[in-house]
Structure 1
Amino acid sequence: MIVVVGIGADGMSGLGAGARAELAGATLIYGAPRQLDLLDDTVGAQRRSWPSPLLPALEQLDPGGDGDVHVVASGDPLLHGIGATLIRRFGADAVRVLPQVSSVTLACARMGWSVQDTEVISLVTAPVHTAVRRGGRAVVLSRDGNSPVTLAALLADTGRGDSELAVLEQLGGPGERRRVASARDWADGAMGDIDDLNVVAVHYLPDDRRYQVLPDEAFAHDGQITKQGIRAVTLAALGPRPGERLWDVGSGSGSIAVEWCRSGAACTAVAFERSEQRRARIAANVVAFGVNVEVRGPAPAGFDGAAEPSVIFVGGGITEPGLLDACFDRLPAGGRLVANVVTAESEAAVIDRHSTLGGQLRRFQHYRGEPIGGFTGFRPAYPVTQWAVVKP
């Protein structure tokens, strides 16, 4: 059995009797140096720091051997912690977790926020921009002392400089400190040094959260964008599911990739775009909406080295020889492909593939009311033909 004991910044004094007894009876304890240093003289076990990289070292653990294997971890080991990693590797029956109060719970207690209404975002391994939001509240788990200022600068740069950031250091320990200022003030660096052991409680302002498909003007673009109405029916065809990854081929402004990531928990995307200028716009939109999108060069050359897709959307370049074949080849069995086209040549290409691969063909025609003298008439946009298919 692997026994994982959570320990807070207050060290042994914050542990219950059961956790103390486990550590007192251990013969070998694994953990990060910071957690191991919190153990006192009542713990006589050999202490072994995790190496880097961590995952190969877990293979050395033997939960079925003689005696238990002990691990110390920060706070609640099942909240973005090693407890979940060990359970995935060895199974729930081989791991017993003794949690301590998490840094998220402590942060919410200090802020007076209800835990269930507060988003939790980890920057321990994720890029800082994934903690950018358009409103609401979150507790952000920092990677180090630089994370709060970097996040504050991104918020200021994306129009969220009024957001309120409370940086909470050494939560639960004797050196606990809480400082509150606007994102703009934190970004200026006027608040001084920050301890590496910190979390950030963020109230994002202004709050302009929207759950519908976004208007076109919400994105930076040069006109090469899937328009809002077509974006809505395209998202319906793509059918995002939690944790899936989209390849957005011929991404333009990245609007489909951004909407995909906004639509469900843990959805990620890879955007492929030929134009360097448009890739820069995609990157700006990715930061503005705090989504997890990797931006790569043109398809299909950019496919090599990209994480495998669950779904592929083709919004441009469909007449390039070999592109559709390359996309279909990269899809796993059961994966979905959706292509939108507007020209006669690209429509011919998808109709040809539909004749051999099947799927569904749809055509959308949108009209917009515009003034005609003192009256109103309807001006048509280009019709869009859509092909959607599931790989057998």
Structure 2
Amino acid sequence: MSGEAIMGDPWLTIVGLGEDGAEGLPPASLAALDAAEVVMGPPRHLALLREGQARGIAWPVPFADGIPPLLALRGRRVVVLASGDPFWCGAGTVLARHLDPGEWRALPGPSCVSLAASRMGWGLEGVLCLGLHAAPLSRLRPHLAPGARVLLTLRDGDAVAVLAGVLCEAGFGASQATVMEALGGPRERITTSRADALHGNFAHPLCVALEVAGPGAALPLASGRGDDWFESDGQMTKRPVRALTLSALAPRLGEHLWDIGGGSGSISIEWLLSHPSLSATAIESRADRADRSRGNASRLGVDRLQVVTGAAPQALDGLQAPDVVFVGGGLDAALLGWLEARLAPGTRLVANAVTLETEALLLAAQGRRGGDLLRIELATSAPLGPRRGWTPSRPVVQWSVTL
């Protein structure tokens, strides 16, 4: 243990503080505050302490700057104040990463989403809860669909108008928005309005309950979303092939993807939309396409996509090791040889070919390594004189293998 416990107790206690201040805390939390030598927290929380309690140290902004001063207090009795439940999109998760298990304990209070659900009469098990107080509001976009119920936190009062703009721009201005300020405290105030009529002055801290409504387009939940969801110069894996490719990539909990030849980013974006635990790096040699991938990812709520501008395999050095690799363009013998030599055993590899030369590479690779080959031939209906006929697309050969 890197810090020595005092009298058998952890030296650090993380206390969840509500808007009613220290007087509303349970006995264990009050006892921790009374015994503390130092209390760290945001100025708003320190102002809620009772007179006579330990000296307060204001937590700096950005949050990471407060970690070294906190760790320097090892060996003393320290309390860190956080809002409500410190382990719901809160400080507790960050602090725990810097501490050994025996160094700390947490005494949570009611989270803002629990308080908000109780005001709305909503069962939390059927509600989407998003912490957007330190994240872009675009992360809401994949969840906007008529009938959805969402509880979300916002950075400050000005963000309410930004949220209303996001909803209106997406076609969901008819959504019912309930803005809840300072829940559980003497300043509690609740305002309900349609998003397209939402205005006023709002004060931090706040939580918003949304009942989504309106004619806006809902992002489908299945892979193979329509091509019009992605801005592109035409360099994109089209919808039916993308659906088959995502099926071959077979995302699993917590996996990391390399999308080599990212183009518009459609493959890596759909990968990330599959589950919030997934991560991805798109590698694209053209700067304009790399920028387009970033824009598509941000607009569709998966801003966590890492985009690297550069040519593979040179651009692959130093990247986080993948669990799965997709090559959608630019495959040649040098890149394939690099991947076969460098990727760890158990890595899944999926490559699509549209040229005869790349197809020959995949045929030879399948002879060496095994795996599955799939030839995808699609056709769409198009006018043919006064009638209709089938217009075939270029066939795609797909190789998928576990190395």
Q: Give the TM-score normalised by the residue count of structure 2.
A: 0.81
- Unaligned 5+ residue runs, structure 1? none
Letter in 1 for 2:399: W
Letter in 2 for 1:106: L
In the alignment, which of 83, 87, 91 is matched to residue 96 of structure 2?
Answer: 87
What is the CA deviation profile of residues 303-338 of structure 1, one whole-angstrom value per residue up to 9, with x for unaligned ones? 57866544332212224x854466667856643332
Note the aligned Cα RMSD (angstroms).
Answer: 3.2
Cα distance 1:53–1:70, how it changes in 2: closer, same or farther (>3 A)?
same
Are 1:250 and 1:315, in contact at CA under 8 Å, matched by a contact in 2? yes
Letter in 1 for 2:176: E
Matched residues, percent identical? 38
TM alignment of 1:37-52, pairs within 5 A: 37-43=47-53, 45-51=54-60, 52=64
Are 1:131 and 1:140, in contact at CA under 8 Å, matched by a contact in 2? no
TM alignment of 1:150-165, pairs within 5 A: 150-165=162-177
Question: How far apart, in 2, do the equivalents of 1:124 and 1:302 lie?
Answer: 34
Question: How far apart, in 1, do the equivalents of 2:71 and 2:367 lie?
Answer: 50
Deviation of 1:110 (Å): 2.3
Deviation of 1:374 (Å): 8.8
Which residue does 2:326 correspond to in 1?
313
What is the CA deviation profile of residues 81-131 of structure 1, one whole-angstrom value per residue up to 9, with x for unaligned ones? 222333343344443221111111112222232211111222244333112
Question: How far apart, in 2, do the equivalents of 1:149 and 1:329 lie?
Answer: 52
Which residue does 2:352 correspond to in 1?
340
Deviation of 1:233 (Å): 2.0
More moved, 220-229 vs 277-286: 277-286
Letter in 2 for 1:311: V
What is the CA deviation profile of residues 124-164 of structure 1, one whole-angstrom value per residue up to 9, with x for unaligned ones? 44333112232222222223334333333333333333333
In the alignment, which of 72, 77, 96 is matched to residue 60 of structure 1?
Answer: 72
Deviation of 1:260 (Å): 0.9
Question: How far apart, in 2, do the equivalents of 1:258 and 1:175 lie?
Answer: 41
In the alignment, which of 143, 147, 152 is matched to residue 159 of structure 2?
Answer: 147
Deviation of 1:262 (Å): 1.7
Which residue does 2:193 correspond to in 1?
181
In the alignment, which of 109, 127, 131 is matched to residue 118 of structure 1?
Answer: 127
Kindly indicate whether residue 35 of structure 2 is the aligned counterpart of residue 25 of structure 1.
Answer: yes
Which residue does 1:230 correspond to in 2?
241
Kindly indicate whether residue 21 of structure 2 is the aligned counterpart of residue 8 of structure 1.
Answer: no
Are 2:35 and 2:77, in contact at CA under 8 Å, matched by a contact in 1? no
Which residue does 1:381 correspond to in 2?
393
Kindly indicate whether residue 111 of structure 2 is the aligned counterpart of residue 102 of structure 1.
Answer: yes
- Unaligned 5+ residue runs, structure 2? 1-9
In the alignment, which of 217, 222, 226 is matched to residue 215 of structure 1?
Answer: 226
Question: How far apart, in 2, do the equivalents of 1:36 and 1:100 lie?
Answer: 16
Question: How far apart, in 1, do the equivalents of 2:208 and 2:339 lie?
Answer: 41
Question: How far apart, in 2, do the equivalents of 1:147 and 1:274 lie?
Answer: 36
Kindly indicate whether residue 400 of structure 2 is the aligned counterpart of residue 361 of structure 1.
Answer: no
Q: Give the TM-score normalised by the residue count of structure 1.
A: 0.83
Question: How far apart, in 2, do the equivalents of 1:302 and 1:130 lie?
Answer: 28
Letter in 2 for 1:335: T
Question: How far apart, in 1, do the equivalents of 2:203 and 2:320 lie?
Answer: 34
Cα distance 1:290–1:203, how it changes in 2: closer, same or farther (>3 A)?
farther
Are 1:268 and 1:291, in contact at CA under 8 Å, matched by a contact in 2? no
Cα distance 1:57–1:129, how it changes in 2: closer, same or farther (>3 A)?
farther
Kindly indicate whether residue 202 of structure 2 is the aligned counterpart of residue 194 of structure 1.
Answer: yes
Letter in 2 for 1:9: E
In the alignment, which of 234, 254, 257 is matched to residue 265 of structure 2?
Answer: 254
Letter in 1 for 2:167: L
Kindly indicate whether residue 79 of structure 2 is the aligned counterpart of residue 70 of structure 1.
Answer: yes
Secondary structure at 1:30 match in 2: strand
Secondary structure at 1:90 match in 2: coil
Are 1:26 and 1:70, in contact at CA under 8 Å, matched by a contact in 2? yes
Cα distance 1:55–1:353, how it changes in 2: closer, same or farther (>3 A)?
farther
Question: How far apart, in 2, do the equivalents of 1:276 and 1:182 lie?
Answer: 41
In the alignment, which of 272, 276, 280 is matched to residue 269 of structure 1?
Answer: 280
What is the CA deviation profile of residues 149-184 of structure 1, one whole-angstrom value per residue up to 9, with x for unaligned ones? 333333333333333333322222222222333444
Cα distance 1:154–1:276, how it changes in 2: closer, same or farther (>3 A)?
farther
Letter in 2 for 1:312: V
Letter in 1 for 2:119: R
Letter in 1 for 2:326: F
Deviation of 1:290 (Å): 1.8
Deviation of 1:298 (Å): 4.4
Question: How far apart, in 2, do the equivalents of 1:158 and 1:104 lie?
Answer: 24
Letter in 2 for 1:235: L
More moved, 141-150 vs 356-365: 356-365
Question: How far apart, in 2, do the equivalents of 1:148 and 1:46 lie?
Answer: 35
Are 1:163 and 1:205, in contact at CA under 8 Å, matched by a contact in 2? yes
Are 1:272 and 1:296, in contact at CA under 8 Å, matched by a contact in 2? yes
Deviation of 1:379 (Å): 4.8
